[in-house]
Structure 1
Amino acid sequence: LTSESKKHKEIGNSFFNAKEYRKALDEYQKAADICPHSQKEDLAIYYNNMAALTYCTRAIDCNPKYVKALVRRAYANEKIGKSFTISQAIEDHKKVLELDPDNNNASHNAIKRLEVMHKIQQEKEKEEMLAKMKDVGNKILGKLGLSLDNFNLQQNPNGGYSINMNNN
Protein backbone atom coordinates (compact mmCIF):
# COMPACT_ATOMS: atom_id res chain seq x y z
CA LEU A 1 0.00 0.00 0.00
CA THR A 2 2.84 2.40 0.74
CA SER A 3 4.18 2.17 -2.83
CA GLU A 4 0.65 2.62 -4.20
CA SER A 5 0.11 5.73 -2.08
CA LYS A 6 3.49 7.11 -3.15
CA LYS A 7 2.48 6.49 -6.76
CA HIS A 8 -0.62 8.64 -6.23
CA LYS A 9 1.57 11.31 -4.62
CA GLU A 10 3.84 11.32 -7.69
CA ILE A 11 0.82 11.57 -10.00
CA GLY A 12 -0.42 14.43 -7.83
CA ASN A 13 2.96 16.12 -8.16
CA SER A 14 2.73 15.81 -11.95
CA PHE A 15 -0.72 17.40 -11.97
CA PHE A 16 0.56 20.13 -9.67
CA ASN A 17 3.45 20.82 -12.04
CA ALA A 18 0.91 21.16 -14.86
CA LYS A 19 -1.01 23.64 -12.66
CA GLU A 20 -3.98 21.26 -12.54
CA TYR A 21 -4.49 21.81 -8.83
CA ARG A 22 -7.87 20.07 -8.54
CA LYS A 23 -6.46 16.85 -10.07
CA ALA A 24 -3.37 17.15 -7.87
CA LEU A 25 -5.55 17.49 -4.80
CA ASP A 26 -7.56 14.40 -5.82
CA GLU A 27 -4.38 12.35 -6.17
CA TYR A 28 -3.04 13.53 -2.80
CA GLN A 29 -6.40 12.54 -1.28
CA LYS A 30 -6.14 9.06 -2.86
CA ALA A 31 -2.62 8.76 -1.46
CA ALA A 32 -3.83 9.67 2.02
CA ASP A 33 -6.85 7.34 1.78
CA ILE A 34 -4.80 4.22 1.03
CA CYS A 35 -1.71 5.05 3.08
CA PRO A 36 -1.43 2.81 6.17
CA HIS A 37 -2.11 4.77 9.35
CA SER A 38 1.20 3.51 10.72
CA GLN A 39 3.00 5.60 8.06
CA LYS A 40 2.50 8.84 9.97
CA GLU A 41 5.27 10.75 8.17
CA ASP A 42 3.87 9.94 4.73
CA LEU A 43 0.33 10.81 5.85
CA ALA A 44 1.55 14.13 7.20
CA ILE A 45 3.12 14.95 3.83
CA TYR A 46 -0.05 14.07 1.90
CA TYR A 47 -2.28 16.12 4.19
CA ASN A 48 0.16 19.02 4.19
CA ASN A 49 0.35 19.01 0.40
CA MET A 50 -3.43 19.07 0.15
CA ALA A 51 -3.90 21.87 2.65
CA ALA A 52 -0.95 24.01 1.68
CA LEU A 53 -1.49 23.87 -2.04
CA THR A 54 -5.20 24.41 -1.93
CA TYR A 55 -5.54 27.05 0.70
CA CYS A 56 -2.31 28.95 0.14
CA THR A 57 -3.03 29.24 -3.57
CA ARG A 58 -6.60 30.37 -2.82
CA ALA A 59 -5.29 32.91 -0.32
CA ILE A 60 -2.77 34.24 -2.85
CA ASP A 61 -5.49 34.43 -5.51
CA CYS A 62 -7.50 36.61 -3.11
CA ASN A 63 -4.52 38.69 -2.02
CA PRO A 64 -1.36 38.38 -4.16
CA LYS A 65 0.57 40.34 -1.50
CA TYR A 66 -0.17 37.87 1.31
CA VAL A 67 3.41 37.09 2.40
CA LYS A 68 2.54 34.36 4.90
CA ALA A 69 0.66 32.36 2.24
CA LEU A 70 3.56 32.78 -0.21
CA VAL A 71 6.01 31.43 2.38
CA ARG A 72 3.77 28.47 3.21
CA ARG A 73 3.21 27.64 -0.45
CA ALA A 74 6.96 27.86 -1.05
CA TYR A 75 7.50 25.40 1.79
CA ALA A 76 4.89 23.00 0.34
CA ASN A 77 6.48 23.23 -3.11
CA GLU A 78 9.88 22.53 -1.59
CA LYS A 79 8.55 19.44 0.18
CA ILE A 80 7.04 18.10 -3.04
CA GLY A 81 10.64 18.18 -4.21
CA LYS A 82 10.32 18.16 -7.98
CA SER A 83 12.39 20.48 -10.15
CA PHE A 84 9.34 22.46 -11.24
CA THR A 85 7.94 22.86 -7.73
CA ILE A 86 11.32 23.88 -6.34
CA SER A 87 11.53 26.59 -9.01
CA GLN A 88 8.04 27.74 -7.97
CA ALA A 89 9.24 27.88 -4.35
CA ILE A 90 12.14 30.08 -5.45
CA GLU A 91 9.71 32.39 -7.26
CA ASP A 92 7.48 32.62 -4.18
CA HIS A 93 10.48 33.55 -2.01
CA LYS A 94 11.54 36.19 -4.55
CA LYS A 95 8.03 37.63 -4.37
CA VAL A 96 8.32 37.66 -0.55
CA LEU A 97 11.57 39.65 -0.84
CA GLU A 98 9.86 42.09 -3.15
CA LEU A 99 6.86 42.52 -0.83
CA ASP A 100 8.63 42.39 2.53
CA PRO A 101 12.27 43.54 2.36
CA ASP A 102 12.57 43.16 6.15
CA ASN A 103 12.02 39.41 5.70
CA ASN A 104 15.05 39.24 3.45
CA ASN A 105 17.29 37.05 5.61
CA ALA A 106 14.99 34.02 5.73
CA SER A 107 14.00 34.29 2.08
CA HIS A 108 17.56 34.95 0.89
CA ASN A 109 18.74 31.84 2.74
CA ALA A 110 15.83 29.83 1.34
CA ILE A 111 16.56 30.96 -2.22
CA LYS A 112 20.25 30.01 -1.92
CA ARG A 113 19.37 26.59 -0.48
CA LEU A 114 16.61 26.00 -3.03
CA GLU A 115 18.82 26.95 -5.98
CA VAL A 116 21.28 24.23 -4.96
CA MET A 117 18.43 21.78 -4.39
CA HIS A 118 16.96 22.72 -7.78
CA LYS A 119 20.19 21.93 -9.63
CA ILE A 120 20.51 18.58 -7.86
CA GLN A 121 16.87 17.68 -8.57
CA GLN A 122 17.16 18.73 -12.22
CA GLU A 123 20.16 16.43 -12.61
CA LYS A 124 18.32 13.58 -10.89
CA GLU A 125 15.25 14.02 -13.10
CA LYS A 126 17.47 14.23 -16.20
CA GLU A 127 19.17 10.96 -15.25
CA GLU A 128 15.79 9.29 -14.66
CA MET A 129 14.53 10.53 -18.03
CA LEU A 130 17.67 9.34 -19.82
CA ALA A 131 17.39 5.92 -18.18
CA LYS A 132 13.78 5.62 -19.36
CA MET A 133 14.77 6.74 -22.85
CA LYS A 134 17.59 4.21 -22.88
CA ASP A 135 15.15 1.44 -21.92
CA VAL A 136 12.86 2.41 -24.81
CA GLY A 137 15.82 2.61 -27.20
CA ASN A 138 17.10 -0.80 -26.11
CA LYS A 139 13.65 -2.35 -26.63
CA ILE A 140 13.56 -1.04 -30.19
CA LEU A 141 17.20 -1.84 -31.00
CA GLY A 142 16.88 -5.25 -29.33
CA LYS A 143 14.64 -6.34 -32.19
CA LEU A 144 17.62 -5.70 -34.48
CA GLY A 145 20.07 -7.49 -32.21
CA LEU A 146 21.58 -4.21 -31.01
CA SER A 147 21.72 -2.17 -27.83
CA LEU A 148 22.46 1.44 -27.04
CA ASP A 149 25.60 0.08 -25.40
CA ASN A 150 26.82 -0.57 -28.97
CA PHE A 151 27.03 3.20 -29.57
CA ASN A 152 29.13 6.10 -28.25
CA LEU A 153 27.88 9.66 -27.97
CA GLN A 154 30.60 12.31 -28.35
CA GLN A 155 30.13 16.06 -28.03
CA ASN A 156 31.56 18.15 -30.85
CA PRO A 157 33.39 21.46 -30.21
CA ASN A 158 30.39 23.36 -31.65
CA GLY A 159 28.06 21.82 -29.01
CA GLY A 160 26.48 19.17 -31.23
CA TYR A 161 26.85 15.43 -30.81
CA SER A 162 28.13 12.57 -32.94
CA ILE A 163 26.94 9.00 -32.57
CA ASN A 164 29.48 6.31 -33.37
CA MET A 165 29.00 2.55 -33.35
CA ASN A 166 31.47 0.46 -31.35
CA ASN A 167 33.41 -2.09 -33.40
CA ASN A 168 33.39 -4.70 -30.62
Structure 2
Amino acid sequence: MADDGAHGAPNEVPLATRLEEANALKALGNDQYGKKNYAVAITHYTDALARLPPRPDAASADADADADAGDGARADDEAKVMEVGDDEPIGSTPVHTVSLEEHLVFEEVGQLRVKLYANLAASHLKLEQYNEAIIASTEVLCEEPTNVKALHRRAVAHEQLGGWSHLNDAMRDYERLADLDTEGYVPTSFRGELQANKQRIAQRVQEAGEQEKGEMLGKLKKLGNSVLGYFGLSTDNFQLTPQDNGGYSLNFVR
Protein backbone atom coordinates (compact mmCIF):
# COMPACT_ATOMS: atom_id res chain seq x y z
CA MET A 1 0.00 0.00 0.00
CA ALA A 2 1.28 3.45 -0.88
CA ASP A 3 2.56 5.59 1.99
CA ASP A 4 0.92 9.02 2.09
CA GLY A 5 3.54 10.22 4.50
CA ALA A 6 6.20 10.05 1.80
CA HIS A 7 4.30 12.60 -0.26
CA GLY A 8 2.68 14.73 2.42
CA ALA A 9 -1.01 14.84 3.24
CA PRO A 10 -3.07 14.44 0.02
CA ASN A 11 -4.68 17.87 0.31
CA GLU A 12 -1.25 19.53 0.59
CA VAL A 13 -0.05 18.03 -2.70
CA PRO A 14 -0.92 19.86 -5.95
CA LEU A 15 -3.92 18.30 -7.66
CA ALA A 16 -1.96 17.58 -10.83
CA THR A 17 0.59 15.62 -8.79
CA ARG A 18 -2.14 13.68 -6.99
CA LEU A 19 -3.70 12.88 -10.35
CA GLU A 20 -0.39 11.54 -11.62
CA GLU A 21 0.03 9.37 -8.51
CA ALA A 22 -3.55 8.08 -8.80
CA ASN A 23 -3.00 7.10 -12.43
CA ALA A 24 0.17 5.22 -11.46
CA LEU A 25 -1.71 3.34 -8.74
CA LYS A 26 -4.52 2.55 -11.17
CA ALA A 27 -1.98 1.03 -13.56
CA LEU A 28 -0.65 -1.15 -10.73
CA GLY A 29 -4.21 -2.20 -9.93
CA ASN A 30 -4.93 -3.07 -13.55
CA ASP A 31 -1.77 -5.17 -13.69
CA GLN A 32 -2.82 -7.13 -10.59
CA TYR A 33 -6.37 -7.51 -11.92
CA GLY A 34 -4.97 -8.99 -15.11
CA LYS A 35 -3.05 -11.48 -12.96
CA LYS A 36 -6.28 -12.30 -11.06
CA ASN A 37 -4.85 -10.86 -7.84
CA TYR A 38 -8.15 -9.09 -7.18
CA ALA A 39 -7.58 -8.29 -3.50
CA VAL A 40 -4.26 -6.59 -4.32
CA ALA A 41 -5.91 -4.74 -7.20
CA ILE A 42 -8.58 -3.45 -4.80
CA THR A 43 -5.85 -2.09 -2.51
CA HIS A 44 -4.25 -0.17 -5.39
CA TYR A 45 -7.58 1.21 -6.62
CA THR A 46 -8.52 2.28 -3.09
CA ASP A 47 -5.15 3.99 -2.62
CA ALA A 48 -5.64 5.77 -5.93
CA LEU A 49 -9.06 7.06 -4.87
CA ALA A 50 -7.53 8.35 -1.64
CA ARG A 51 -5.27 10.55 -3.77
CA LEU A 52 -8.26 12.24 -5.42
CA PRO A 53 -10.76 14.73 -4.02
CA PRO A 54 -14.19 13.19 -3.30
CA ARG A 55 -17.12 13.46 -5.65
CA PRO A 56 -18.51 17.03 -5.32
CA ASP A 57 -21.95 15.82 -4.16
CA ALA A 58 -20.34 13.62 -1.50
CA ALA A 59 -18.18 16.48 -0.29
CA SER A 60 -21.25 18.73 -0.04
CA ALA A 61 -23.07 16.08 2.00
CA ASP A 62 -20.15 15.89 4.43
CA ALA A 63 -20.16 19.65 4.75
CA ASP A 64 -23.91 19.70 5.46
CA ALA A 65 -23.47 17.04 8.14
CA ASP A 66 -20.94 19.25 9.92
CA ALA A 67 -22.97 22.44 9.53
CA ASP A 68 -24.73 22.31 12.89
CA ALA A 69 -21.46 21.71 14.71
CA GLY A 70 -20.06 24.88 13.19
CA ASP A 71 -22.93 27.21 14.08
CA GLY A 72 -21.11 28.69 17.08
CA ALA A 73 -17.90 29.35 15.21
CA ARG A 74 -19.86 30.81 12.31
CA ALA A 75 -21.63 33.24 14.65
CA ASP A 76 -18.23 34.43 15.93
CA ASP A 77 -17.03 34.91 12.37
CA GLU A 78 -20.13 36.93 11.51
CA ALA A 79 -19.52 39.16 14.51
CA LYS A 80 -15.98 39.81 13.30
CA VAL A 81 -17.26 40.60 9.81
CA MET A 82 -19.47 43.34 11.27
CA GLU A 83 -16.31 45.04 12.58
CA VAL A 84 -14.70 45.57 9.16
CA GLY A 85 -14.11 49.08 7.86
CA ASP A 86 -16.55 50.96 5.66
CA ASP A 87 -14.29 50.56 2.63
CA GLU A 88 -14.50 46.72 2.74
CA PRO A 89 -17.71 44.92 1.71
CA ILE A 90 -19.26 43.03 4.62
CA GLY A 91 -18.86 39.28 4.29
CA SER A 92 -16.86 39.58 1.08
CA THR A 93 -14.74 36.61 0.05
CA PRO A 94 -12.03 36.49 -2.58
CA VAL A 95 -13.19 34.93 -5.85
CA HIS A 96 -10.90 32.29 -7.33
CA THR A 97 -11.00 32.20 -11.10
CA VAL A 98 -10.48 28.69 -12.43
CA SER A 99 -8.09 28.56 -15.36
CA LEU A 100 -8.67 26.36 -18.38
CA GLU A 101 -5.79 24.14 -17.26
CA GLU A 102 -7.36 23.70 -13.80
CA HIS A 103 -10.72 22.95 -15.37
CA LEU A 104 -9.19 20.23 -17.52
CA VAL A 105 -7.45 18.72 -14.50
CA PHE A 106 -10.72 18.62 -12.52
CA GLU A 107 -12.44 17.02 -15.50
CA GLU A 108 -9.70 14.38 -15.73
CA VAL A 109 -10.03 13.75 -11.98
CA GLY A 110 -13.74 13.01 -12.38
CA GLN A 111 -13.12 10.63 -15.27
CA LEU A 112 -10.40 8.80 -13.35
CA ARG A 113 -12.59 8.54 -10.25
CA VAL A 114 -15.30 6.85 -12.35
CA LYS A 115 -12.80 4.37 -13.83
CA LEU A 116 -11.40 3.52 -10.39
CA TYR A 117 -14.83 2.83 -8.91
CA ALA A 118 -15.75 0.79 -11.98
CA ASN A 119 -12.59 -1.30 -11.57
CA LEU A 120 -13.34 -1.67 -7.85
CA ALA A 121 -16.81 -2.98 -8.64
CA ALA A 122 -15.42 -5.50 -11.11
CA SER A 123 -12.81 -6.68 -8.58
CA HIS A 124 -15.35 -7.05 -5.78
CA LEU A 125 -17.61 -9.08 -8.07
CA LYS A 126 -14.72 -11.43 -8.84
CA LEU A 127 -14.28 -11.97 -5.09
CA GLU A 128 -18.05 -12.36 -4.59
CA GLN A 129 -18.07 -9.28 -2.35
CA TYR A 130 -21.48 -8.23 -3.58
CA ASN A 131 -22.31 -5.46 -1.11
CA GLU A 132 -19.01 -3.74 -1.90
CA ALA A 133 -19.66 -4.17 -5.62
CA ILE A 134 -23.04 -2.45 -5.21
CA ILE A 135 -21.45 0.48 -3.36
CA ALA A 136 -18.71 0.95 -5.97
CA SER A 137 -21.16 0.67 -8.88
CA THR A 138 -23.46 3.22 -7.25
CA GLU A 139 -20.53 5.65 -7.00
CA VAL A 140 -20.01 5.28 -10.74
CA LEU A 141 -23.69 5.90 -11.43
CA CYS A 142 -23.71 9.02 -9.25
CA GLU A 143 -21.32 10.57 -11.76
CA GLU A 144 -22.41 8.71 -14.91
CA PRO A 145 -26.10 7.68 -14.66
CA THR A 146 -25.96 6.11 -18.13
CA ASN A 147 -22.98 3.85 -17.39
CA VAL A 148 -24.24 0.51 -18.71
CA LYS A 149 -21.48 -1.62 -17.17
CA ALA A 150 -22.07 -0.16 -13.70
CA LEU A 151 -25.81 -0.82 -13.91
CA HIS A 152 -25.22 -4.37 -15.07
CA ARG A 153 -22.65 -5.09 -12.34
CA ARG A 154 -24.95 -3.70 -9.68
CA ALA A 155 -27.85 -5.79 -10.99
CA VAL A 156 -25.67 -8.92 -10.93
CA ALA A 157 -24.57 -8.19 -7.35
CA HIS A 158 -28.16 -7.66 -6.19
CA GLU A 159 -29.25 -10.91 -7.85
CA GLN A 160 -26.44 -12.85 -6.19
CA LEU A 161 -27.42 -11.52 -2.75
CA GLY A 162 -30.98 -12.74 -3.38
CA GLY A 163 -34.09 -12.12 -1.33
CA TRP A 164 -37.07 -10.06 -2.45
CA SER A 165 -35.50 -6.67 -1.73
CA HIS A 166 -32.24 -7.27 -3.61
CA LEU A 167 -34.00 -9.02 -6.49
CA ASN A 168 -36.39 -6.09 -6.77
CA ASP A 169 -33.40 -3.72 -6.92
CA ALA A 170 -31.86 -5.92 -9.62
CA MET A 171 -35.11 -5.72 -11.57
CA ARG A 172 -35.06 -1.92 -11.35
CA ASP A 173 -31.51 -1.85 -12.71
CA TYR A 174 -32.46 -4.12 -15.62
CA GLU A 175 -35.49 -1.93 -16.35
CA ARG A 176 -33.18 1.09 -16.39
CA LEU A 177 -30.89 -0.78 -18.79
CA ALA A 178 -33.91 -1.45 -21.02
CA ASP A 179 -34.64 2.29 -21.02
CA LEU A 180 -31.02 3.03 -21.93
CA ASP A 181 -31.31 0.48 -24.73
CA THR A 182 -34.10 2.51 -26.34
CA GLU A 183 -31.84 5.56 -26.06
CA GLY A 184 -28.98 3.81 -27.85
CA TYR A 185 -26.62 3.30 -24.91
CA VAL A 186 -26.71 -0.51 -24.80
CA PRO A 187 -24.62 -2.49 -27.33
CA THR A 188 -26.76 -4.56 -29.68
CA SER A 189 -24.77 -7.66 -28.68
CA PHE A 190 -26.09 -7.31 -25.11
CA ARG A 191 -29.80 -6.96 -25.92
CA GLY A 192 -30.60 -10.67 -25.97
CA GLU A 193 -28.91 -11.24 -22.62
CA LEU A 194 -30.63 -8.18 -21.17
CA GLN A 195 -34.09 -9.44 -22.14
CA ALA A 196 -33.35 -12.92 -20.78
CA ASN A 197 -32.07 -11.43 -17.51
CA LYS A 198 -35.21 -9.31 -17.11
CA GLN A 199 -37.48 -12.32 -17.56
CA ARG A 200 -35.46 -14.44 -15.15
CA ILE A 201 -35.36 -11.74 -12.48
CA ALA A 202 -39.10 -11.06 -12.80
CA GLN A 203 -39.79 -14.73 -12.08
CA ARG A 204 -37.36 -14.77 -9.15
CA VAL A 205 -38.89 -11.60 -7.66
CA GLN A 206 -42.32 -13.24 -7.67
CA GLU A 207 -40.99 -16.49 -6.17
CA ALA A 208 -39.01 -14.65 -3.48
CA GLY A 209 -42.06 -12.56 -2.59
CA GLU A 210 -44.20 -15.67 -2.17
CA GLN A 211 -41.48 -17.38 -0.12
CA GLU A 212 -40.98 -14.43 2.22
CA LYS A 213 -44.76 -14.04 2.59
CA GLY A 214 -45.01 -17.72 3.52
CA GLU A 215 -42.20 -17.38 6.05
CA MET A 216 -43.87 -14.33 7.59
CA LEU A 217 -47.22 -16.09 7.86
CA GLY A 218 -45.47 -19.08 9.42
CA LYS A 219 -43.96 -16.87 12.10
CA LEU A 220 -47.31 -15.19 12.74
CA LYS A 221 -48.98 -18.60 13.02
CA LYS A 222 -46.36 -19.74 15.52
CA LEU A 223 -46.91 -16.59 17.57
CA GLY A 224 -50.69 -17.02 17.39
CA ASN A 225 -50.47 -20.63 18.53
CA SER A 226 -48.34 -19.64 21.52
CA VAL A 227 -51.10 -17.24 22.65
CA LEU A 228 -54.14 -19.34 21.71
CA GLY A 229 -52.62 -22.39 23.41
CA TYR A 230 -53.54 -20.88 26.80
CA PHE A 231 -57.20 -21.23 25.76
CA GLY A 232 -56.89 -24.72 24.32
CA LEU A 233 -57.04 -23.36 20.78
CA SER A 234 -54.71 -22.95 17.81
CA THR A 235 -54.73 -21.03 14.56
CA ASP A 236 -56.08 -24.21 12.93
CA ASN A 237 -59.40 -23.38 14.66
CA PHE A 238 -59.74 -20.28 12.48
CA GLN A 239 -60.32 -20.37 8.74
CA LEU A 240 -59.83 -17.47 6.34
CA THR A 241 -62.27 -17.46 3.43
CA PRO A 242 -61.65 -15.13 0.44
CA GLN A 243 -64.49 -12.71 -0.34
CA ASP A 244 -65.59 -11.28 -3.69
CA ASN A 245 -64.51 -7.78 -2.63
CA GLY A 246 -60.92 -8.93 -2.16
CA GLY A 247 -61.11 -9.25 1.63
CA TYR A 248 -61.37 -12.28 3.89
CA SER A 249 -63.90 -13.58 6.39
CA LEU A 250 -62.73 -15.33 9.56
CA ASN A 251 -64.61 -18.49 10.55
CA PHE A 252 -64.22 -20.52 13.73
CA VAL A 253 -63.77 -24.26 13.10
CA ARG A 254 -63.84 -26.96 15.78
Within-5 A mapping of 1:27-42: none
Partner of 2:96: none
Partner of 2:228: 141
Is residue 141–residue 147 contact of structure 1 (8 Å, CA) maintained in 2? yes
Q: Does 1:129 align with 2:129?
A: no
Is residue 241–residue 249 contact of structure 2 (8 Å, CA) maintained in 1? yes
Q: Compute the RMSD of aligned alpha carbons.
A: 1.9
What fraction of aligned residue pairs are identical, expressed as a percent?
34
Partner of 2:120: none
Q: Matched residues in 2 for 1:57 and 1:75: separation?
A: 13
Q: Does 1:59 align with 2:146?
A: no
Distance 1:125 1:46, change over 3 A: farther
Which amino acid letter does the alignment assign opposite residue 97 of structure 1?
A
Superposition TM-score, scaled by structure 1 size: 0.68
Q: Matched residues in 2 for 1:48 and 1:129: separation?
A: 28
Which amino acid letter does the alignment assign opposite residue 78 of structure 1?
E
Is residue 154–residue 161 contact of structure 1 (8 Å, CA) maintained in 2? yes
Is residue 156–residue 162 contact of structure 1 (8 Å, CA) maintained in 2? yes
Point out the structure with max Rg over C-alpha: 2
Which deviates further from its counterpart, 124-133 or 135-144?
A: 135-144
Q: Does 1:71 align with 2:152?
A: yes
Instruction: Using the TM superposition, give the Cα deviation of residue 45 of structure 1 relative to its aligned residue in structure 2, in angstroms.
Output: 9.3
Pick from 246, 250, 254: which aligns with 1:159? 246
Is residue 148–residue 177 contact of structure 2 (8 Å, CA) maintained in 1? yes
Q: Matched residues in 2 for 1:88 and 1:118: separation?
A: 10
1:102-142: per-residue Cα shift (whole Å, max 9, x none)?
Answer: 33221111000111111111110110010011111111212
Partner of 2:197: 110
Q: Matched residues in 2 for 1:50 and 1:150: separation?
A: 44
User: Structure 2: 5+ residue runs without aligned partners?
Assistant: 1-124
Q: Matched residues in 2 for 1:91 and 1:105: separation?
A: 18
Q: Matched residues in 1 for 2:174 and 2:253: separation?
A: 49
Is residue 131–residue 157 contact of structure 2 (8 Å, CA) maintained in 1? no
Superposition TM-score, scaled by structure 2 size: 0.46
Distance 1:104 1:50, change over 3 A: same
Give the length in aligned residue pairs. 124
Q: Matched residues in 1 for 2:128 and 2:202: separation?
A: 26
SS of the equivalent of 1:163 reads: strand
Partner of 2:179: 98
User: Structure 1: 5+ residue runs without aligned partners?
Assistant: 1-43
Give 4+ residue runs of structure 1 displaced > 6 Å after superposition. Answer: none
